[in-house]
Structure 1
């Protein structure tokens, strides 16, 4: 019995059995498109929503949900409106974006964490230009505040914290040598006591005025500076009673 008649007989009996001869399937062709190939054409790496972006020649990979975290942004529309906002892709299927790759990392980290993360030495103005391009107003505001604080700090004059130390003559050398942590001696003033004339054993005492640079963001005079000046004037009056 031939293969065709055998298959027909099996069909009539309600039990369809396919022939075991592999040559019978040579004429069949698959019409299914591989999942990896289809996702690559859409700029995604797999069906879970990973997206590749080619920014200025550097490829970044992140999730679609991360890019869609800021509604109305360029990246949100890129993932949501692929038909209304067509974009060129490279040979791997990654979206091509003609922007600076160096400043895209802070953009991506902001979408991931919701905060501004900068590498040392990175220009806030450069990231601000990218934040404006990608239409991220909250990030732009963060950068504007940071730039304002930086410029304000640069314009603020240096202020000093003053301290007054009282010591005996034999302690003066050790006090001077022990100065550290940015402290500097401004002036050493001898203190003349009214009882020194009656005692030859009493040691000479001194007031040491020391200072250290201090950045005060509120623009207020550091606490202790006025008191130090008053003590300095008092010591001068003790040294020169007619002053």
Structure 2
């Protein structure tokens, strides 16, 4: 905040064992990482005493330390990946935004020489790379030829897992009693795992479609598979 960046008063002193003013203001550190400002404490940055950041704020003579016009330490690194590094120093946990790559955080951890964070990121990468792939999902499609008076019954009696996709009017008409009826093609689909085994019971098989409608609604003698949409 602006108060933290302001110059300390000349009458700073210790009250009841607590340091006020100048000494306390020195605890707060301002960093300019790739043009983005971060405000944190000296204690946080020195969580790993051998890290670049701790050496920086301790003004290690072996480091070439530059500051901008606001008094912030200049660090020419990607600010996007500095966030997870700073948060680790704050609470000791590796929290990775889903939009960030672990390899990017590893690069920063190695640059700042934060030993434990390097270990955590490498462990996370190893877990990610060795995670078994998810079972692929596919869609099974069935096409049924039905009369219009069968449509309601068809939809209400489909087996669990099957869903209605499309209704196509094929235009042919025939006389049934004293009424004319239009025929339709009804497309239904079901998602299933590509690892589905042959030992599944009939009602769990991806190609099983249980219909309780009358003989006027019949399955056409073909089907086809398409991969699931990404």
TM-score, structure 1 normalization: 0.49
| Displacement after TM superposition at 1:81 (Å) | 3.4
Of structures 1 and 2, the one scoring higher in RCO (CA 8 A, sep 6+) is 2
Q: Which residue of 1 aligns with 2:98?
A: 120
Contact 1:87 1:95 in 2 (8 A): yes
Question: RMSD between aligned alpha carbons?
Answer: 3.7
Contact 1:188 1:209 in 2 (8 A): no
What secondary structure does 2:117 align onto? helix
The reply to whether residue 74 of structure 1 matches residue 56 of structure 2 is no
What secondary structure does 1:59 align onto? strand
Q: Which residue of 2 aligns with 1:132?
A: 110
Distance 1:68 1:175, change over 3 A: farther
C-alpha separation between the residues in 2 aligned to 1:176 and 1:146? 45
Going by fraction, where is helix more abundant, 1 or 2? 1
Unaligned runs of 5+ in 2: 1-6, 11-21, 138-154, 163-189, 207-230
Q: Which residue of 2 aligns with 1:209?
A: 204
C-alpha separation between the residues in 2 aligned to 1:138 and 1:188? 48
Unaligned runs of 5+ in 1: 1-33, 38-43, 161-172, 190-205, 212-243
Distance 1:175 1:70, change over 3 A: farther
| Displacement after TM superposition at 1:102 (Å) | 0.6
When the two structures are aligned, how many residues end up with a matched partner?
A: 143
C-alpha separation between the residues in 1 aligned to 2:197 and 2:74? 66
What secondary structure does 1:110 align onto? helix
C-alpha separation between the residues in 2 aligned to 1:45 and 1:96? 22
Distance 1:157 1:123, change over 3 A: closer
Going by fraction, where is strand more abundant, 1 or 2? 2
Instruction: Determine which of 8, 28, 34 is the counterpart of 1:35.
Output: 8
The reply to whether residue 178 of structure 1 matches residue 173 of structure 2 is no
| Displacement after TM superposition at 1:144 (Å) | 1.1
C-alpha separation between the residues in 2 aligned to 1:50 and 1:108? 14
Contact 1:45 1:52 in 2 (8 A): no
Contact 1:54 1:95 in 2 (8 A): yes
Contact 2:106 2:118 in 1 (8 A): yes
Q: Where in structure 2 are the equivalents of 1:227-238 lying within 5 Å?
A: none
Greater Rg by CA: 1
TM-score, structure 2 normalization: 0.52
Q: Which residue of 1 aligns with 2:135?
A: 158
Q: Which residue of 1 aligns with 2:15?
A: none
Q: Which digits, 9 at most, give the CA deviation of each residue in 1:48-92, with x for residues without a partner?
A: 511000001111100111001111000111122344434000000
Contact 1:187 1:209 in 2 (8 A): no
Contact 2:44 2:90 in 1 (8 A): yes
Contact 1:88 1:96 in 2 (8 A): yes
